[in-house]
Structure 1
Amino acid sequence: MKGALTRFRVMAYVVGVFLLLLCVAMVFKYAADMGGAMKVVGPIHGFLYAVYLVIAVDLALKLRWSIKGTVLVLLAGTIPFVSFYAERKVVEKTAQGVPL
């Protein structure tokens, strides 16, 4: 279980950072007409988000999260900064032994 939690924590941070990079790339694309960064960061974020989903579902099954808690954690990777918050809450709840 500790390995699954560590994988989740790493992926939550990685996805959060790449989502912020994607937001910056979108600003460059639409404000400065420089879309090259989107062509690189977009697919990388998409792949990493898919990995995040698999790892989060694995952790949810191991810790027996509710459907609502699982869906909220899965959606956390789509809103800037929320994956960092979700990671912190998951770690707190897991340490307390409380399912999401």
Structure 2
Amino acid sequence: MVIGPKPADIPLIRRTLAVYKVSSIITGIFLLGLVVMMVTRYGLGSDIELNGPSGFIALSPVDTLTGFNLSIFLLAVHGWLYVLYLACDFVLWRVLRWPFWRFLWIAMGGIIPFLSFFFERQVPRQVEAVIAGLSPEDAHRVAEGSAA
């Protein structure tokens, strides 16, 4: 018996893949913002402040912030977006029946800068190749089931 996705799971795979594409781009953007935040906080000793006494956007020492702390915002939003990214990764891994190392490898996309942009292109190609590898009878059966 060949291990792979069930033809009935193709609609779930396509929906999850669509969310994965968007979440990988947004997670990657916030990860780059998080890298900037880490450099300013730990390299310069300052956080990014919005609407503080120094103007619309400024680097301010961590203890003196009175405006909106953009650094903490970037940290929190990236964390929640990474949860969404991991959930999509998990669903794809489970439904496509990929090996566990592939789940871990794709999960690194939300941790290593720029990797999520690479995966946003690579993972859909791999998923489409798996779907295309299903037998034509299975694909036809799924198409008939979704039309009903």
Pairwise TM-score range, normalised by the shorter structure: 0.7 to 0.9
Moved more, 31-40 or 54-63: 31-40
What is the CA RMSD across the aligned residues, in angstroms? 1.6
TM-score (norm 2): 0.61
Whose helix fraction is larger, Structure 1's or Structure 2's? 1
Corresponding residue to 1:5 among 8, 12, 17: 17
Q: Which runs of 5+ in 1 are unaligned?
A: none
Amino acid at match of 2:118: Y
Bigger RCO (CA 8 Å, 6+ sep) = 1
Identity rate, percent: 31
Q: Which runs of 5+ in 2 are unaligned?
A: 1-12, 48-68, 132-148
In structure 1, distance between residues paired with 2:16 and 2:73? 28
Residue in 1 that maps onto 2:27: 15
Structure 1 outlier segments of 4+, above 4 Å: none
Moved more, 51-60 or 31-40: 31-40
In structure 2, distance between residues paired with 1:38 and 1:49? 17
SS in 2 for 1:89: helix
TM-score (norm 1): 0.87
Corresponding residue to 1:44 among 77, 91, 109: 77
1:1-100 to structure 2, matched below 5 A, reads: 1-35=13-47, 36-97=69-130
Number of residue pairs the alignment of both structures matches: 98
Deviations 1:59-99 (A, max 9, x none): 2112211111111001221000001112211111112228x
SS in 2 for 1:79: coil
Question: Which structure has the bigger radius of gyration?
Answer: 2
In structure 1, distance between residues paired with 2:46 and 2:20? 33
